[in-house]
Amino acid sequence: MILWIKNASNDLINAESENNALKLKLLKSKVNPQIVNKAFDYIKSESSELAQQMVLRLSSFLRYLLYESQKNVNTIEAELDFLVNFLEIAEHALAGQVAIDYKIKKSGNNQHIMKSLALYPLLSEVIEKANSFVDLNIFLENHLLTLRISFDLREGNQLSDFDIVLIKEFGNNFVFQFSEENDKRHINLVVDFNKPQYFHNENLQMLNS
């Protein structure tokens, strides 16, 4: 009996270790190292109060990536709150290098759901590859989400094919436009949450799966 308990305990420890390793691997795949490293530099250089605020933002950011992102879907409100936190981190971490200006406006019925982290890869890559500025506007009105980004791309960089990537996140229920104007790049994304089958409110139970 004692041997069985010891073996079961070891199996549990090994399983927990493997689970933590998988979580760490998942986290590493989603973290933007440039911004996180700059955030740590910010923490070391600022006063204790500002540093503490950044630590709290980073903690919330990493916790969301690690746990909330394992859900298939989440509320739009939760996703936008996560993006605001990420933008706050990036704004302070990249101060003096990339000027980040953002506005998020919400109105009407916003009780729709969306795939977890559907917009984060796009915003993360734009900020990472921007040369000196990023202007971002997000408008959520009832079932329509509009994302507009203007930025200058750092020389030698190019963006991923997000018009293809977004199909996995939003099906065929979005419009994605990318344009260039001198040294500026413009992205316009409109998503209709009234159409995709997995966005309807009857699927909210998926949030707890």
State mean pLDDT over 95-104.
Answer: 94
State mean pLDDT over 9-23.
Answer: 44
Q: Would you list the domain boundaries of the chain?
A: 31-208
Closest CA to 117 of 81, 160, 143, 145: 81
* Token pair in block for residue 165: 């990537």
- pLDDT score at 190: 94
- Rounded to whole angstroms, the Cα distance separating 186 from 152 reads 9
**pLDDT band for position 73 (cuts 50, 70, 90):** confident
Q: Do residues 9 and 17 touch, judged by C-beta distance below 8 A?
A: no
pLDDT in tens, 44-71: 887 778 888 888 898 899 889 888 777 8
End-to-end CA distance of the chain: 36
Per DSSP, the residues of 16-64 read: HHHHHHHHHHHHHHH--HHHHHHHHHHHHHS-HHHHHHHHHHHHHHHHH
State mean pLDDT over 5-14.
Answer: 39
CATH of 31-208, one of 3.30.479, 2.40.10, 3.30.565, 3.30.420: 3.30.565
pLDDT in tens, 104-154: 998 877 778 888 889 999 999 999 999 999 999 999 988 899 999 999 999
Mean pLDDT of the chain: 79
